[in-house]
């Protein structure tokens, strides 16, 4: 079954079962597991590079994994703690070396964070910082039309509704510079920026001393500011430009349709700031309040500006609670909406961060009226982002709210860990995790488990987070890391317009691709084939439904909200295992 399916995915299939393991390695004190497909009864030997046997394990029970249709055996080699390189033997040498070391995730963390520099809009990437991936500036966005205020667009919309064209009026123009390209396309989206910026700011909030030690090569406009905060500010500046004078925030900045695979400077489609929305405004309010706290020691004026903008956004949202985004008929770019959306989780997210920043009781009162749940996190449900900080700062929020948040957090974490403890791959993944951006779901599952570790100190949650990272870095049925440029085998052809058109064979390192799932949105829609991704359509198991091909936007695209949890997960585990756990563990 396994050999047949992997061949169908056009992947190389070995003649023996290769051990599936985190290809970057492990910290000495971390949990370390190896998955070997099949049901071989031979023991597993671990030898050092001198050929000495350091551990022998008898064959464990055989488990079936429904997500791949495999039989596998899982070996725990956690007792090996001495840094070094090791080989695995089972009836002969098998697989790639296994590394144990102090700083195995530091380079990954830096690359995952530097990728945001490569996503910068409105800026030329110089060879001093971008190397062979240097490119010209595109999408300066210094003259962006507010959607519906220019005559051609207004006329099209009016005519589509059978109404007369409006009288000629000057279009409303704004400057909306900087920001990150959202994904493989050239749009900039407030909703997706919300969870992305939150996650990156949390990494700095939780591990400031560790993050201050990390440097990666980016241009420095604010040299006294930590590198991570310097990068995040590029996007915060853009987000601030998307706020209207009344406090409302435009949902996105895109062209009317997705552009083709061209370099940014060649893509000349007209760009629009499209409609103010409740969700965008509240996500904006939340991260601006959060950022005001983080940036205050480095730039108080900037922090004060963000807090003022946050308060204005929250005020607008309170007075426009029904202003959910509705995609105009002539706009085809991502809408970042979903069925049943009501904005309640965004209100909780914003109220949480504004209370943390101001300690004003009106925000606490609003949050107290919200029913805390154990759902999320993803851009469509930011409930868990509120849960994180209420649980961690329960003394500030009060016993009732703090207790509810802690209960919700541990309920989510316990469900994940129960699956991780008993499944074939030891992966804390739920059926809902196998969706578009499944790799992001795995990373966010790890972040849920890390927060449970912070509030309890229970290492089993830390082990669960490690298993999530292990999956992303090679302990998976595809036998590859899902991060470009890392591990023994990694994606080469991401769905990413710059990568598709820059004439550079190697993709930028540090990009997390979306990952496998059965949605196949890029294969079939209403029975009609959209793309011809070779052999990908026949995969019938979610953990195998992936192809490393630029045509597969459903499994091989990249996105800022996928890279942020990768950076957090890798960075947090690295920080904790080098001695920074006391920064967050209660």
Per the listing, tokens 């031979």 go with: 42
166 within domain boundaries: yes
Q: Cα(198)–Cα(286) distance, rounded to whole angstroms?
A: 8
324 within domain boundaries: yes
Q: What is the pLDDT of residue 157?
A: 57
CB atoms within 10 A of CB 253: 27
Q: What is the CATH number of the domain that holds 307?
A: 1.50.10.10
Give 378-435 pLDDT, tens digit per residue: 999 999 999 999 999 999 999 999 999 999 999 999 999 999 999 999 999 999 999 9
Q: What is the pLDDT of residue 586?
A: 85
DSSP E strand boundaries for 434-585: 524-525, 528-529
CA-CA-CA-CA dihedral for 506, 511, 516, 518, to nearest 10:
-100
Is 377:433 a contact under the CB 8 Å cutoff?
no
438 within domain boundaries: no
If residue 373 lies in a helix (H) or strand (E), which one and from where to where?
none
From 122, 148, 118, select the one nearest 133 (Cα to Cα): 118
264 within domain boundaries: yes
Is 251 a catalytic site residue? no
Give 520-529 pLDDT, tens digit per residue: 888 755 545 5
Q: What is the pLDDT of residue 15?
A: 43
Is 557 a catalytic site residue? yes
Per the listing, tokens 């590079």 go with: 49
DSSP character at residue 45: E
Per the listing, tokens 């055996």 go with: 73
320 within domain boundaries: yes
Based on the number of CB atoms within 10 Å of its own CB, is 478 exposed (0-12), middle (13-18) or buried (19 or more)?
Answer: buried
DSSP E strand boundaries for 509-556: 524-525, 528-529
Is 542:517 a contact under the CB 8 Å cutoff?
yes
Counting as low any pLDDT under 70, the low residues of the chain are: 1-16, 151-168, 524-535
Angle at 34 between CA 29 and CA 40, to 5 degrees: 145
If residue 526 lies in a helix (H) or strand (E), which one and from where to where?
none
* Residues 6 or more apart whose Cβ sits within 8 Å of residue 410: 452, 455, 456
Cα of 582 vs its chain's centroid, Å: 25
Based on the number of CB atoms within 10 Å of its own CB, is 300 exposed (0-12), middle (13-18) or buried (19 or more)?
Answer: exposed
Range of the domain at 278: 138-337
Active-site entry in 107, 345, 479, 548: 548
Q: Cα(72)–Cα(35) distance, rounded to whole angstroms?
A: 7
Per the listing, tokens 């084939």 go with: 529
Q: Cα(193)–Cα(206) distance, rounded to whole angstroms?
A: 20
Q: How many residues can be counted in the chain?
A: 586
Active-site entry in 202, 353, 557, 580: 557
Q: Helix 190-206 crosses helix 278-295 at what angle (to 10 degrees)?
A: 20
Active-site entry in 495, 496, 517, 580: 495
177 within domain boundaries: yes
Q: What is the pTM of this model?
A: 0.94
313 within domain boundaries: yes
Q: Cα(276)–Cα(257) distance, rounded to whole angstroms?
A: 19
519 within domain boundaries: no
The number of folded domains in the chain is 1
Residues paired with residue 173 on neighbouring β-strands, in sequence order: 145
Is 548 a catalytic site residue? yes
Per the listing, tokens 């005519």 go with: 159
């Amino acid at each position: 079954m396994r050999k047949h399916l992997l061949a169908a995915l056009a992947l190389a299939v070995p003649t023996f079962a290769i051990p599936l393991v985190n290809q970057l390695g492990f910290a000495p004190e971390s949990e370390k597991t190896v998955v070997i497909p099949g049901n071989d009864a031979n023991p597993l030997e671990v030898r050092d590079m001198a050929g000495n046997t350091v551990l022998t394990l008898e064959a464990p029970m055989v488990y079936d994994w429904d997500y791949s249709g495999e039989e596998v055996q899982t070996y725990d080699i956690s007792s090996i703690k001495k840094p070094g390189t090791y080989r695995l033997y089972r009836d002969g040498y098998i697989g790639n070396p296994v590394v144990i070391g102090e700083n195995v995730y530091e380079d990954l963390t830096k690359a995952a964070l530097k990728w945001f520099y490569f996503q910068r809009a409105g800026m030329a990437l110089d060879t001093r910082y971008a190397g062979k991936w240097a490119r010209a500036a595109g999408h300066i966005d210094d003259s962006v039309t507010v959607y519906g205020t220019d005559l051609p667009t207004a006329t099209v919309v009016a005519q589509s509704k059978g109404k007369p064209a409006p009288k000629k009026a000057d279009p409303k123009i704004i400057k909306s510079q900087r920001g990150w390209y959202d994904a493989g396309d050239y749009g900039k989206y407030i909703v997706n920026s919300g969870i992305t910026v939150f996650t990156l700011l949390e990494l700095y909030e939780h591990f400031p001393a560790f993050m201050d030690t990390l440097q990666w090569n980016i241009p420095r406009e604010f040299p006294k500011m930590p590198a991570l905060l310097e990068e995040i500010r590029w996007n915060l500046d853009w987000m601030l430009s998307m706020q209207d004078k009344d406090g409302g925030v435009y949902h996105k900045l895109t062209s009317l349709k997705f552009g083709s695979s061209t370099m940014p400077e060649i893509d000349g489609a007209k760009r629009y700031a499209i409609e103010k929305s409740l969700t965008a405004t509240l996500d904006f309010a939340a991260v601006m309040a959060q950022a005001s706290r983080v940036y205050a020691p480095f730039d108080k004026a900037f922090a004060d500006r963000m807090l003022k903008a946050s308060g204005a956004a929250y005020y607008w949202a309170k007075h426009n609670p029904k202003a959910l985004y509705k995609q105009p008929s002539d706009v085809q770019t991502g809408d970042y909406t979903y069925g049943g959306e009501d904005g309640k989780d965004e209100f909780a997210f914003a109220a949480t961060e504004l209370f943390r920043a101001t300690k004003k009781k009106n925000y606490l009162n609003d949050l107290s009226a919200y029913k805390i749940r154990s759902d999320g996190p993803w851009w469509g449900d930011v409930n868990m982002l509120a849960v994180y900080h209420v649980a961690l700062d329960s003394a500030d929020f009060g016993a009732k709210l703090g207790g509810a948040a802690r209960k919700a957090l541990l309920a989510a974490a316990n469900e994940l860990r129960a699956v991780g403890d008993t499944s074939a791959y030891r992966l804390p993944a739920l059926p809902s995790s196998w969706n578009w951006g499944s790799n992001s779901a795995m990373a966010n599952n790890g972040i849920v488990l890390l927060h449970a570790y912070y509030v309890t100190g229970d290492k089993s949650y830390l082990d669960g987070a490690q298993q999530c990272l292990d999956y992303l870095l090679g302990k998976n049925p595809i036998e590859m890391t899902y991060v470009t440029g890392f591990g023994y085998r990694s994606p080469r052809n991401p769905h990413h317009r710059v990568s598709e058109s820059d004439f550079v064979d190697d993709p930028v390192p540090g990009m997390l691709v979306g990952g496998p799932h059965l949605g196949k949105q890029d294969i079939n829609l209403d029975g009609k084939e959209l793309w011809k991704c070779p052999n990908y359509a026949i995969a019938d198991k979610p953990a195998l439904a992936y192809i490393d091909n630029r045509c597969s936007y459903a499994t091989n695209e990249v996105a800022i909200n996928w890279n942020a949890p990768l950076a957090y997960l890798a960075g947090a585990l690295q920080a904790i295992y080098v001695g920074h756990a006391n920064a967050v563990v209660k």
